[in-house]
Structure 1
Amino acid sequence: MTIPTSDRAARSAQVTGSPRRRWAGLVFISVAVALIIVDSTIINVAIPSIVADLAITSTQVQWVQESYTLVFAALLLVFGTLADRYGRRRILLLGVVVFAAASVLAAFAGSGDLLIGARLVQGVGGAMVLPTTLSLINATFRGRDRGIAFAIWGSTIGGMVAVGPLLGGWLTTYFSWRWAFGINVPLGIIIVIGVLTFVVESKDAGEPRRVDVVGAVLSVLTSASLVFGLIEGRSYGWWLTNKAMVVGDWTWPFELSPIPFAFAITLVAGAAFVAWGLYRQRTGRTTLLAFSLFRIASFRNGNIAAMIVSLGEFGIILSLPLWLQNVLGYDALQTGFVLLALALGSFVASGLAGAFGNKISPETIVRLGIVAEIIGVTGLGFVISKDATWLSVVPFLFVYGIGVGLATAQLTGVVLKDVPVEKSGQGSGTSSTARQIGSALGIAVLGTVLFTSVGASLDAKLADVPGLPAAAQSQVVDAVVDSAGAAIPALEARSPALADAARDAFSEGTRYSAFAAAGFLVLGFLATLRLSGTAPHQAPREMDAASTGVGSPA
């Protein structure tokens, strides 16, 4: 059912409110974004301390990151739709409360499994927050103000990517890694008060839509099985089983590894998700993924580019803090200061984007940003070594930060610029999902590249150590890989030669991870070549009639 123009205009007037209130509300919307982005990065510098305190393995290290990102990505579409139906501000507030409560659980976690469980719940809260912040901006601001609001939103993400490690480093060094989660509670309280005071509720007009439960289940199966396969492949074997998978009292009974089965589930569930969504669309019912929005060129091509770029953007942030602390010997706060160069670059980029935003198309700014990211990450790959210092790393992190700041905000604006307001929840949810799937794959793929490369390189180096038995060699390799490098300082007391070989191998793994990230960013750049600065003029009207689904039977 098409929403009459008069109704849309009335709703627009209702949600925008006074200019002062809108901009004050944007401050707290940005703080809400900062909360979930900081938490996704603050943990990086705290990982070595968590490894030492909870004795978690390298696979659990990846899962501490992935459990949050995976649930985040899997539920973004669901909460984007729920926000459209029940109210965007309401879902945002609920998400902040869930996120803060889960942060308390994480802060008191006594084991790696409990911490991973708390991160899963945090992912649920984060999935409520991110798409609603985007859709609130899309529904509240118009014209030039909307571009400025998106720029502030994107710059917040870019800046928080590095402010998170700095804050986490300070809290970990002077207090405890547990405060990296505890800080979310007072921030959550501030956000709730600010949003209730300044942000006006908005939601779809017309009859409420039902959530596509089958689509939600299929999307979760698709993303969960894919990330599980990518992370656990090196543990259980990519084809044949090299370690038994045990769940409670049940043990995997086949010679064939569970990983091919996981990837098969990904293919089947993914195909079923698309087929089911297209079927519901043909029958006039609402879908979890806004398939009809993909007829808008800016939305379709922008999401493809965003997913590929995100794969390369944030995966490297997993390996750098581990390398800085376990190889170069920096503490958590020093690591945070090194990564601050990324935040400074992002803030500089926001100024550049504002200065040239009216002279250069957003698509061109996105491409310039990705080129800067490629230069920064490739440069990191060349300077990373066991003898490197922060002076060689910081310039490339700064360039990388400039790229993140330029690309993130502008790409968001390109993706959503032609999406009708009444579809902003699904549109922003789809956009955020594309990014989070890319981030999840980046952590999984680049983490696997890191630890696989470290193991292979260290194994080769120890083979040349005279008098080292094969059993001892295997023990050293396993200790370094399973501890995500935390065992390297302890090797120094046992044998300086072994510790030196381990530092060299971990540097090689980090270097390969950086080059892999650069490769994905190159693919992302190529994907942006399909972005056009000319918007399809008929897209919004077509969307009103053909794809909003408002008032359709479910």
Structure 2
Amino acid sequence: MTDQRPATPTSPLARTESPRRRWAGLVFISVAVALIIVDSTIINVAIPSIVRDLAITSTQVQWVQESYTLVFAALLLVFGTLADRYGRRRILILGVVIFAAASVLASAAQSGDLLIGARLIQGIGGAMVLPTTLSLINANFRGRDRGIAFAIWGSTIGGMVAVGPLLGGWLTTYFSWRWAFGINVPLGVIIIIGVLVFVTESKDAGEPRRVDVVGAVLSVLTSATLVFGLIEGRSYGWWLTNKPMVIGGFTWPYEISPIPIAFAITLLAGTAFILWGLSRQRAGKTTLLAFSLFRIASFRNGNIAAMIVSLGEFGIILSLPLWLQNVLGYDALQTGFVLLALAIGSFVASGFAGAYGNRVSPETIVRVGIVLEIVGVAGLGLVITADASWLAIVPFLFVYGMGVGLATAQLTGVVLKDVPVEKSGQGSGTSSTARQIGSALGIAVLGTVLFTSVGASLDAKLADVPGLPESARTQVVDAVVDSAGAAIPALDAQSPAVATAARDAFSEGTRYSAFAAAGFLVIGLLATLRLSGTAPYRDGREPEADAGAPASVAVTPADKPV
């Protein structure tokens, strides 16, 4: 049965006229996702060149890498809601324009501060792109087609996590790190043209165009302070200040670290956000977050699982490139080629999801994917040594990539499967925020495991080096840890024994980080057991629970009993 009401370009019922045009639109939506995901990873292999060119400090190095993630996570929920009200395609295109313009500023930056500012603006554009791509897929694909579309979307994310370092390594090695940002401009132009031609606009025309400004401010404050605390805790100290925080001319003057203060603000602002939203909902006013969505079991439990899985998924991407370059001695391009195995595995997984997505329930595919991730990451932990070969690493990266491709795509579909189309922007924004918070937590926790393990192991190993005084030992440990391993190659000329100890210690830290990631993925696997199974899609229709409903609309209300 189909809906006989005419679809308009502003209606959530709108569909492209031909399936070919709809799938062509998905290509450009996926390229938009690739653009922002690549940019979050491409910087890793370009950092050494940026340090040499701009002479930036270690503090600025951290902010170049982290400012993008901070703004990105803080604004996802806001722009997901705005997309529902003002047009999903419109917000997507505006986000790509802002992202490309900021990339021009980044490529032309002549100082660390200017580069950090450009990265902050890039985060704004990225936060506009990611949730709108999800909600456009949710609005324009149904049944088995939507499962395939989500598989392609998720596999793009998994693959681009690995393609980013490869592309960045190639551009940095043969051209300049500036091209790592400059390449975003022609890609942005292609995306805008393709989206305008092939993607139909959709938005919720039924609700008034009013935005919950107070809720938006509280949401940004909650997300920003939480992500700041998770990322910077290792740097400034989780409780007491171990290094001063300097912002412009201001220096943190207290013995207590700014991190617990940030978490306290997170708690207060988050509580105020929930109370404020519930009060507006009771009054019948619009809210930034449709709190009734959490009454949907698939949405609530899926977001919990997604956050935990993201914690384990992306933390290993922080340590592996550092180990490959600083311990094994690979250059940026060689590192990218090794990580390409992850991308290949992810794209192979998309083919699997397309072939079996209508035969196996999405929840089963998610669990299989997470199991593959656990095998891949734990396997990496077993083979990582100071003299390891890429031949031992690549098979486990491939398996890990397959897991990421399966779990990321299908888990997204599970989270949004019962969300009404008119709330898809809010739903996808919440889902993306949960993933970003999980990723930030993974970077913070696994980064702490990595560098704490490296410091402790190296200090113990250097104690056995004859003739090395304690003061020199402390200097070596600080240099290796503070430089994230970049100081290791220079140690060869000073003392081969010290350099060997540093490589062994960094390998141990990377190994422990991999095992910790596998542990979090196990917890994520257990969390997916709370997801109720659904029948696989057959012949393009929705599951049996939706039988008889119009094929072009979401039939499960946000307040469905669970």
Displacement of 1:58 in angstroms is: 5.6
Residue deviations 1:353-396, cap 9 Å, x none?
Answer: 22222221110000000000011111111111111111111111
Aligned residue type for 1:65: Q
1:138-183 per-residue CA deviation (whole Å, 9 max, x = no partner) reads 1112222222222221221122121222111111111122211111
CA separation in 2, counterparts of 1:328 and 1:109? 31
Task: Specify the code of the residue in structure 1 equivalent to 2:253.
Answer: P
Deviation for aligned residue 1:59:
5.3
Letter in 2 for 1:522: V
Give a deviation string over 1:399-439, Cα, whole Å, max 9, x none. Answer: 10010111111111111111111111111111111111111
Q: How many residues align?
A: 543
Moved more, 264-273 or 520-529: 264-273
Name the amino acid aligned to 1:477: V
SS at structure 2 position matched to 1:519: helix
**Matched-pair identity in %:** 86
1:271 aligns with 2:285: no
Residue 288 of structure 1: CA displacement?
1.7
Alignment of 1:155-166 (within 5 A): 155-166=155-166
Confirm or deny that 1:393 pairs with 2:393.
yes
The answer to whether the 8 A contact 1:56-1:483 is kept is: no
TM norm structure 2: 0.91
Partner of 1:34: 34
Instruction: Confirm or deny that 1:337 pairs with 2:337.
Output: yes
Q: What does residue range 415-430 of structure 1 map to in structure 2 within 5 Å? A: 415-430=415-430
RMSD: 2.3
> Aligned runs of 1:105-120 on 2, under 5 Å?
105-120=105-120
Partner of 1:376: 376
Query: Residue in 2 aligned with 1:257?
Result: 257
Distance 2:515 2:59 in 1: 22
Does the Cα contact within 8 Å between 1:454 and 1:508 map onto a contact in 2? yes
Aligned to 2:412: 412
- CA-to-partner distance for each residue in 1:95-119, whole Å, 9 max, x for gaps? 0011111112222233433333222
Q: Provide structure 2 residue ranges, at least 5 long, that are not aligned to the other structure.
A: 535-542
Q: Which residue of 2 aligns with 1:467?
A: 467
- Maintained 8 Å contact 1:51/1:486: no
How far apart are the structure 2 equivalents of 1:419 and 1:451? 41
CA-CA distance at 1:6 after TM superposition: 7.2
Q: Which amino acid aligns with 1:312?
A: G
- The alpha-carbon distance between structure 1 residues 48 and 389, as it changes in their structure 2 partners (threshold 3 A), is farther
Query: In the aligned structure 1, how far is the partner of 2:556 from the partner of 2:279?
Result: 19
Alpha-carbon distance in structure 1 between the residues aligned to 2:210 and 2:485: 48
Contact 1:290 1:430 (8 Å CA) reproduced? no
CA distance in 2, matches of 1:134, 1:302: 15
Distance in structure 2 (CA, Å) of the matches to 1:336 and 1:247: 34
1:217 aligns to 2:217 (yes or no): yes
Following the alignment from structure 2 to structure 1, what is the Cα–Cα distance between the partners of residues 450 and 112? 21
Separation in structure 1 between the aligned mates of residue 158 and residue 199 of structure 2, nearest angstrom: 23
Q: CA deviation at 1:55?
A: 4.6
Deviates more, 1:239-248 or 1:512-521: 239-248
Give the Å deviation of 1:84. 1.0
Which residue identity is paired with 1:303? N
Q: Could you say what secondary structure the match of 1:315 adopts? A: helix
Alignment correspondent of 1:71: 71
Distance 2:460 2:267 in 1: 36
CA–CA separation in structure 2 for the residues paired with 1:541 and 1:143: 12
1:16 is paired with a residue whose SS is coil
Which string of whole-angstrom CA distances, capped at 9 and with x for unpartnered residues, describes residues 53-91 of structure 1? 445566544433322122111111111111111111111
In structure 2, the residue corresponding to 1:532 is in which secondary structure? coil
Change (3 A) 1:287 1:154: same
Other-structure match for 1:356: 356
CA drift at 1:542: 6.8
Counterpart residue number, 1:194: 194
Shift of 1:532: 0.7
CA–CA separation in structure 2 for the residues paired with 1:116 and 1:474: 31
Distance 1:466 1:110 in 2: 45
**Counterpart residue number, 1:179:** 179
Deviation at 1:13, TM superposition (A): 5.3
Distance 1:365 1:469 in 2: 55
Matched position secondary structure for 2:255:
coil
Task: Specify the SS of the correspondent of 1:238.
Answer: coil
Counterpart residue type for residue 156 of structure 2: T
Quote the Cα distance in structure 2 between the aligned partners of 1:472 and 1:8.
Answer: 77
Matched residue, 2:49: 49
Distance in structure 2 (CA, Å) of the matches to 1:236 and 1:172: 31
What amino acid is aligned across from residue 285 of structure 1 in structure 2? K
Specify the SS of the correspondent of 1:284: coil
| Match of residue 543 from structure 1 | 557
Q: Is 1:493 aligned to 2:493, yes or no?
A: yes
Match of 2:19?
A: 19
Q: Report the Cα distance in structure 2 between the residues aligned to 1:487 and 1:116, rounded to whole angstroms.
A: 24
- Please report how far the alpha carbon of residue 503 of structure 1 lies from its aligned counterpart in structure 2 after TM superposition: 1.2
Q: Is the 8 A contact 1:341 1:397 kept in 2?
A: yes
**Equivalent pair of 1:326/1:485 in contact (CA under 8 Å):** yes
- Given that 2:232 and 2:444 are in contact with CA atoms closer than 8 Å, whether structure 1 keeps it comes out as no
Deviations 1:18-71 (A, max 9, x none): 222212211111111111111112222223333444455665444333221221
C-alpha contact 1:16 1:141 (8 A) present in aligned 2: no
Kindly provide the amino acid, as one letter, of the partner of residue 222 in structure 2: T
CA contact (8 A) 1:76 1:433 kept: yes
Where 1:314 maps in the other structure, the secondary structure is helix
Structure 1, residues 273-314: CA drift from partner, whole Å, max 9, x if none?
222222222222222222111111111111111111111111
Structure 1 stretch displaced more, 163-172 or 393-402: 163-172
Contact 2:155 2:350 in 1 (8 A): yes
When normalised by structure 1's length, the TM-score is: 0.93
Match of 1:514 in 2: 514
Answer whether contact 2:230 2:440 (CA < 8 A) is retained.
no
Q: Per the alignment, in what secondary structure is the counterpart of residue 298 of structure 1?
A: helix
Q: Structure 1: which 5+ residue stretches go unaligned? A: 548-554
Residue equivalent to 1:241: 241
Q: 1:250 to 1:60 in 2, by over 3 A?
A: closer
What's the secondary structure of 1:330's corresponding residue? coil
Q: What letter is aligned with 1:287?
A: T
Q: Supply the AA of the counterpart residue of 1:239.
A: W
8 Å CA contact 1:227, 1:444 repeated in 2: no
Partner SS, residue 77 of structure 1: helix
How far off its partner does 1:440 sit? Answer: 1.7
Which residue does the alignment assign to 1:142? 142
Matched to 1:175, the amino acid is F
What SS does the corresponding residue of 2:557 show, helix, strand or coil?
helix
Contact 2:227 2:437 in 1 (8 A): no
Q: Once the 2 structures are TM-superposed, how far is the Cα of residue 16 of structure 1 from its aligned partner?
A: 2.9
Measured in 1, the distance between the counterparts of 2:56 and 2:385 equals 26
Moved more, 486-495 or 449-458: 449-458
Determine the structure 2 residue equivalent to 1:533. 533
SS of the aligned residue for 2:14 comes to: helix
CA contact (8 A) 1:139 1:202 kept: yes
Counterparts of 2:556 and 2:421, CA distance in 1: 13
Separation of aligned partners in 1, 2:53 and 2:518 = 33
CA shift in 2, pair 1:232/1:545, >3 Å: closer
2:284, 2:4 → 1: CA distance?
24
In structure 1, the partner of 2:437 is 437
Q: In the TM superposition, what whole-angstrom CA distance separates every residue of 1:212-253 from its partner, at most 9, and x where no partner exists?
A: 222222222222222322333333332223333333443333
Q: Which moved more, 1:323-332 or 1:280-289?
A: 280-289
For the residue of structure 2 that corresponds to 1:208, the secondary structure is coil
CA distance, structure 2, for counterparts of residue 88 and residue 442 of structure 1: 30
**8 Å CA contact 2:222, 2:270 repeated in 1:** yes
